[in-house]
A and B are shown apart, each in its own frame.
Chain A
Amino acid sequence: MSEQVELKVNGTSVVVSSGATVAVAIALAGAACRKSVSGELRGPLCGMGICFECRAAFNGRLYCRTCQVLCRPGMEINTDAQRTVNKGPIPRCW
């Protein structure tokens, strides 16, 4: 875990050690992962891809479980919580 990876979370640059997951990068950026259907800000719960609380968009792919995705250089992460502010409400997918 010695090498560093730089990526962007909601447009802000974040540096993590290599091997870190996107959920960790989001936490380091001080962002919440998603906004719940009643508007609560949420972050990871299970850390193992079961609960879907840590979902966010990376490189334009929506609703990814960020605890299961490793950070890569130049990745662009957009949290759902951020999207709500910028682009109106999240469409209901489920």
Chain B
Amino acid sequence: MLVIGAGPAGLAAAACAAECGVMVAMVDDNPALGGQIWRGDSGTAWSEAVRWVDRLHAAGVQIFCGTRVFHQPELGKLLAEQVDHLVELSYRKLIVATGARELFLPFPSWTLANVMGAGGLQALVKSGLPIARKRVLVAGSGPLLLAVAAYLRQCGAEISVICEQASRSLARFGLALLLQPGKMRQGFFLRKQLSGIPYLADCWPVAARGHKALEEVVISQGFNIGTKTRTISCDYLACGFHLVPNTELAQLLRCTLRNGLVQTDALQRTSVPEIFCAGEPTGVGGLELALVEGQIAGLAAGGRSDSAQLLFAARKKMRSFARALDRTFALHRELRRMPRPETIVCRCEDVAYSRLAQHRSWRAAKLQTRCGMGPCQGRVCGPATHFLFDWSPDSVRPPIFPTRFENLSALAFKAKRNPAK
């Protein structure tokens, strides 16, 4: 069995399946296990991450980090790329646990250096970026903002303000949900860590400014952009509008999606036989839900559906909690007015808002402007234009990540030598 993604869902799935006696290999694009939420934690703080990684090792799971899957040339076989190698992976069963990325929405000068995702800045700090005494403005939406602000402050950053786009009453409700004891394990610490930092609702960035890198951010509070604005100087802007599931691999494998989410049955089975999916691609729901879905998928794939069933109730409870959070932090339509005509929306091909606004579909915009045709393959601007223009990115084609020509040509060479295959 092959598990793609070494975040909480993938770790839980791999550990559970391997403990059922299945031979399991795990593949992840990142240099270490843990995914984004446990980045840099597998050796230290979070005992839970360490516990899962220990179970993984004890069960003899083979681990391939720094390995990025880009193609399925035939059923049961995946191709992946490492820095120096092409890797061929065969599987009988597959668990897709590819996690989520942040939703980035364009606003004037968001392409300036030091304007990053909220999770993006946290990931860089976890990867060694010194943040002590730096002034950081945290903006966007969702519970991640709080976790990021708390983490950065703990690392010595000065958090000037947290701007949440959701309205005051909703954001309060969301906070109450999040901070209730036992809901989020770090809820208590969050409350303590964030004391004294202004948490502004109905608030979002309207412009970043700076010469070579970010110097200040203009934020707007209230319903009409431009009416109540404030300029705050800062070194970093950590801005993300909640999460978008990474479903490209599931799409490549022809799993059925609905409303952008991979459809699964009670045992986390997708529409494709022997392919399971767990965690954010089935619906963004956070750490606890990912762990439960991962365990269910791992147990089901390992032939222990009876044990998997014992976790259904927990999953149901967590899913309804996730839905409540989703409603709370639903994006304000007003955010569609953040970009100015000259604001770049597609960062790979530098396509401005005004050029996109002339088109009626993602496909038309792609053909006419190259929007979404750069190296990120629409991973950033696809979800942004979905929000801005209601466009839906269409098909996914291999390679699902930019791949070195030498690796593609090695494949072609092999195919030529074995024409029968």
Nearest-neighbor residue (CB-CB) of A25 within chain B? B128
| Residues of chain B contacted by A36 (CB below 8 angstroms) | 111, 347, 350
- Does any Cβ of A come within 8 Å of B114's Cβ? yes
Q: Is the CB of B350 within 8 A of A38?
A: yes
A42 beta carbon closer than 8 Å to chain B: yes
In the assembled complex, the CB of B95 is this many whole angstroms from the nearest CB of chain A, namely: 20
Per-residue CB contact flags for chain A residues 82-94 toward chain B (1 = under 8 Å, else 0) read: 0000000000001
Does A29 count as interface, using CB distance less than 8 angstroms?
A: no
A16, A20, A21 — which one has the most chain B CB atoms within 10 A of its CB? A21
Which residue on chain B has the smallest CB distance to residue A32? B113
Instruction: Give every chain B residue within 8 A of A42 (Cβ-Cβ).
Output: 111, 113, 347
- Mark out the residues of chain A between 1 and 59 whose CB falls within 8 Å of any chain B CB in the assembled complex: 1, 16-17, 19-21, 23-24, 27-28, 32, 36-38, 40-53, 55
Residues A19 and B128 in contact, CB atoms below 8 Å apart: yes
Q: Helix, strand, loop or mixed for chain B's interface?
A: loop
Q: How far is the CA of A94 from the CA of B377 in the complex (A)?
A: 10
Instruction: Give chain B nearest CB distance to A16 CB in angstroms.
Output: 6
Number of interface residues of B (CB under 8 A): 42
A53 touches B347 (CB 8 A): yes
Q: How far is the CA of A15 from the CA of B339 in the complex (A)?
A: 38
B185 CB to nearest chain A CB (Å): 22
Given known A24-B127, A37-B350, A51-B376, contact A19–B40 (CB-CB < 8 A): yes
Q: How many A-B residue pairs have CB under 8 A?
A: 118
Say yes or no: A47 contacts B119, CB within 8 Å.
yes
**Which residues in B have their C-beta under 8 angstroms from that of A23?**
124, 127, 129
Q: Which residues of A contact B213 (CB under 8 A)?
A: 43
Which residues of chain A are near B111, meaning CB under 8 Å?
A: 36, 40, 42
**B118 (CB) vs chain A CBs: closest residue:** A47
Q: Is B30 an interface residue (CB 8 A)?
A: yes
Task: State whether A94 touches B348 (Cβ < 8 A).
Answer: yes
Cα distance A28–B125 when bound, in Å? 12
CA distance A88 to B40 in the complex (A): 38
Q: Is the CB–CB distance between A47 and B350 below 8 Å?
A: no
Q: Does A77 contact B (CB under 8 A)?
A: no
- Interfacial chain A residues near B379, Cβ < 8 Å: 50-51
- When C-beta atoms are compared, the residue in chain A nearest to B239 turns out to be A45
Minimum CB distance partner of A18 in chain B: B128
Write the nearest CB–CB distance from B40 to chain A, whole angstroms. 7
Which residues does chain B contribute within 8 Å of A51, judged by CB atoms? 104, 347, 376, 379-380
Given contacts A21-B128, A46-B101, A94-B375, whether A63 and B402 have CB atoms under 8 Å apart is yes
A46 near B347 (CB under 8 angstroms)?
A: no
On whether the beta carbons of A44 and B376 are closer than 8 Å, the reply is no
Nearest CB of chain A from residue B384's CB, rounded to whole Å: 11
Contact A69:B31 (CB < 8 A) given known A19-B40, A44-B120, A46-B102:
yes
Q: Kindly name the residue among B104, B123, B128 whose own CB sees the greatest number of chain A CB atoms within 10 A.
A: B128
A68 and B66 form a contact (CB under 8 A): yes
Closest approach, in angstroms, between the C-beta of B401 and any C-beta of chain A?
9
Name 10 interchain pairs, CB-CB below 8 A, sorted by A: A24-B129, A32-B113, A41-B212, A45-B115, A46-B116, A48-B30, A68-B29, A68-B66, A70-B31, A94-B374
B residues engaging A (CB < 8 A)?
A: 29-31, 36, 40, 66, 68, 83, 101-102, 104, 111, 113-117, 119-124, 127-130, 212-213, 246, 344, 347-350, 373-376, 379-380, 402
**Given A45-B347, A47-B116, 12 new contacts (CB under 8 A):** A20-B127, A24-B124, A27-B129, A42-B347, A43-B114, A46-B101, A47-B124, A49-B68, A63-B402, A68-B29, A68-B30, A68-B31
